[in-house]
Amino acid sequence: MEEVGTGLLDRLDAMQRVAASAPGGPLLIVAGPGTGKTRTLTHRIAYLCAELNVFPEHCLAITFTRRAAEELRHRLDGLLGPVAEAVTVGTFHSLGLSILRENARAAGLPEYFRIADDTERTAARTEAGTDDTAYTKLLRAQDLVDLDELVTLPVSLLRDDPELVERYRDRWRWIFVDEYQDVDAVQYELLRLLSPADGNLCAIGDPDQAIYSFRGADVTYFLRFSQDFTDARLVRLTRNYRSSAPILAAAVQAIAPSSLVRGRRLDPARLDPEAPLVGRYPARSVADEADFVARTVDDLVGGLSHRSMDAGRSDGRTSTVSFSDIAVLYRTDAQAAPVVEALGRAGIPVQKRSHNRLRDRPGVALIARELRHADGLGGSLAARVRLAGQVLAQRFATPTLDAPVGVEPADIWSAVDVLTPLALRCGDDLPLFLAQIATGAEVDALDPRAEAVTLLTLHAAKGLEFPIVFLIGCEDGLLPFRFPGTDPTEDEVAEERRLFFVGLTRAQDRLYVTHAQRRHRHGREYDCRPTPFLDAIDAGLFERFGDSAPRRPKDHQLRLL
């Protein structure tokens, strides 16, 4: 446990300290990537509890993913010790779920309602057609709620019941929301109900990282915070502690053409004159791109494991490279396959996650069902997941097929791998595990300690950081994404640029961007050009390697070191 008391804010810089120790009332922290928003948030909660006698049970912290919630809880434990348990930490979905559990009857739900899984939703949708009421009725008849209702139902409940609103306002007197730039209309309404206009609402975020408008998120809630909440205090953080200076410079230049933050500043805290430039690899093909990733990972982990990778780290530590330090990021899930294959051939372990709902991943809902129905499965939750996987894989291997179309034994095993770390984290709490499957995203099941290269969609990578990042498929049409024959709107291109910015700013020490000359998409092979987003970056920030000149083996490595 870290020292509590006057030293609590010592590990923050001057502006972070201002934010962490600001008095009550609405507070907006606007800050770019890597400026320590999450660090500031945890320290603020700890400071309020330890120094200003705020009760931890009066604090509610809302994060975007469950993984982020776990990380926050972990850091709070470190700062506050066991009392941190009393802080409510969760996502909008888990918050909504707990409000509904506490008020099931008032919300017209049975005590033991459950969140519908994919099969149940599809069945109800097929039967109800486009009739949304009929759809809800069908779910209710089976004691089910739809995932979206986890936020809409609490909103209607609170809207109609001012007394209930007062009860919750009394309970959660201090509310903190991370990634506020990505709240949607319903989540915003829930916040307005939970926090009075002059309440202790602390919103944290970066409009330039708003990347979820396709799910209904609306960055304007962030931009108009000061109008919605009375006398809102604004704090900006501008020092980036995450990325080396060349990586940060490239990212700042990349976002400049569509930055939503007036006078955006991001100053590097890390000033190593020897920091490597951004690696850029123009690949001939998708296979060549994947081979480059595999080769470079292999070189980095094998070749650098005993020497300091970044002598210029601000903390002066030396580090060794392991697979868990490395992430491969991409715009669409389909891009992962060639990389998985190339890494697999090189014997490099991977864990792949997307931002999609966990329960939508093939095999996951089947395993959840098996766990719910089979009482006979003994042992720990993780062991039961494996056993359920075995049962299902065997069942689907023989062609009878009550098996659902398109689900293969390999999907089941992959689902087992994804669910295992989550099962371990849930202890033996089956209802908690099932609720997490129903409400969580694939990325929530990421195991940060796994000795594996992490493969993520750009959307799933939000908020995370890795010493080494490959951003692959930096091509026009893929990033910005475009269906062949269609043109994205200006707003869509701006959002894609923000996504590119999110990707670049995940990297701490080394960043590689790659693009292929040819790519298969939608059943056809296309000639590809590098994304115009790269044009905004000074050529001097890149270290080009590979190119079309014949490559000497490991040539790129010699030059990069």
- CB-based contact 4:46 (threshold 8 Å): yes
Percent helix, strand and coil across the chain, each to the nearest 5? 50, 15, 35
Residue type, 141: A
Smallest gap from Cβ 12 to ligand ATP, in A, equals 5
Q: Choose the one of ligand ATP, Mg ion, none that binds residue 16, judging by a C-beta under 5 to 8 angstroms depending on kind.
A: ligand ATP
Report the 10 Å Cβ neighbour count for 527.
9
> How is residue 461 annotated by DSSP?
G
Smallest gap from Cβ 209 to ligand ATP, in A, equals 6
- Cα–Cα dist 446/456, whole Å: 10
Smallest gap from Cβ 309 to ligand ATP, in A, equals 16
Q: Please say which residue, 241 or 470, places its beta carbon nearer to ligand ATP.
A: 241
Smallest gap from Cβ 35 to ligand ATP, in A, equals 4
Q: Does 206 bind ligand ATP (CB under 6 A)?
A: yes
Q: Does 38 bind ligand ATP (CB under 6 A)?
A: yes
* Three-point CA angle 174, 179, 182, nearest 5°: 115
DSSP-assigned beta bridge partners for residue 29: 204, 235
Closest CA to 56 of 26, 34, 77: 77
Q: Please say which residue, 243 or 531, places its beta carbon nearer to Mg ion.
A: 243
Q: Please say which residue, 34 or 96, places its beta carbon nearer to ligand ATP.
A: 34
C-alpha torsion 487→491→497→503, nearest 10:
-110
Q: Please say which residue, 271 or 383, places its beta carbon nearer to ligand ATP.
A: 271
Query: Which residue's CB atom is positioned nearest to ligand ATP?
Result: 36
- Cα–Cα dist 31/538, whole Å: 24
Q: Please say which residue, 170 or 315, places its beta carbon nearer to ligand ATP.
A: 315
**3-state DSSP call for residue 328?**
strand
Q: Does 463 bind ligand ATP (CB under 6 A)?
A: yes
Residue type, 109: L
Q: Does 228 bind ligand ATP (CB under 6 A)?
A: no
Cis peptide, bond prior to residue 56, ω within 30 of zero: no
The token pair at 255 is 């976002």
Q: Choose the one of ligand ATP, Mg ion, none that binds residue 421, judging by a C-beta under 5 to 8 angstroms depending on kind.
A: none
Q: Does 12 bind ligand ATP (CB under 6 A)?
A: yes
- Cα–Cα dist 225/24, whole Å: 16
- Cα–Cα dist 195/213, whole Å: 24
- Cα–Cα dist 86/57, whole Å: 5
**3-state DSSP call for residue 396?**
helix
Residue type, 177: V
Q: Please say which residue, 29 or 99, places its beta carbon nearer to Mg ion.
A: 29
- Options 73, 114, 242, 352; binder of ligand ATP; rule CB under 6 A: 242
Q: Please say which residue, 125 or 313, places its beta carbon nearer to ligand ATP.
A: 313
Residue numbering of the annotated binding site for ATP? 31-38
- CB-based contact 512:469 (threshold 8 Å): yes
- Options 8, 9, 16, 339; binder of ligand ATP; rule CB under 6 A: 16
Closest CA to 517 of 485, 477, 458, 481: 477
Q: Please say which residue, 17 or 37, places its beta carbon nearer to Mg ion.
A: 37
Smallest gap from Cβ 268 to Mg ion, in A, equals 18
Residue type, 286: V
- Options 13, 77, 228, 492; binder of ligand ATP; rule CB under 6 A: 13
- Cα–Cα dist 165/267, whole Å: 42
Per CB under 6 A, contacts with ligand ATP among 490-509 are none
- Options 2, 24, 25, 39; binder of ligand ATP; rule CB under 6 A: 39
Count residues contacting ligand ATP (CB under 6 A)?
A: 17
Alpha carbon 246 to its chain's center: 24
Smallest gap from Cβ 111 to Mg ion, in A, equals 37
Residue numbering of the annotated binding site? 31-38
Smallest gap from Cβ 459 to ligand ATP, in A, equals 13
Q: Please say which residue, 93 or 506, places its beta carbon nearer to ligand ATP.
A: 506
Q: Choose the one of ligand ATP, Mg ion, none that binds residue 114, judging by a C-beta under 5 to 8 angstroms depending on kind.
A: none
DSSP-assigned beta bridge partners for residue 469: 327, 511
Residues forming contacts to Mg ion in the complex (CB under 5 A) are 37-38, 463
The token pair at 423 is 């099962």
Residue type, 306: H
Among 12-20, 273-281, 369-377, 398-406, the segment contacting ligand ATP (CB under 6 A):
12-20
Per CB under 6 A, contacts with ligand ATP among 18-37 are 31, 33-37
Smallest gap from Cβ 335 to Mg ion, in A, equals 25
Smallest gap from Cβ 75 to Mg ion, in A, equals 11
- Cα–Cα dist 527/523, whole Å: 13
Q: Choose the one of Mg ion, ligand ATP, none that binds residue 35, judging by a C-beta under 5 to 8 angstroms depending on kind.
A: ligand ATP
- Residue given tokens 């030396």 in the structure block: 318
Smallest gap from Cβ 69 to Mg ion, in A, equals 12
Q: Please say which residue, 240 or 517, places its beta carbon nearer to ligand ATP.
A: 240
Binding site for ligand ATP (CB under 6 A): 12-13, 16, 31, 33-39, 206, 209, 241-242, 463, 465
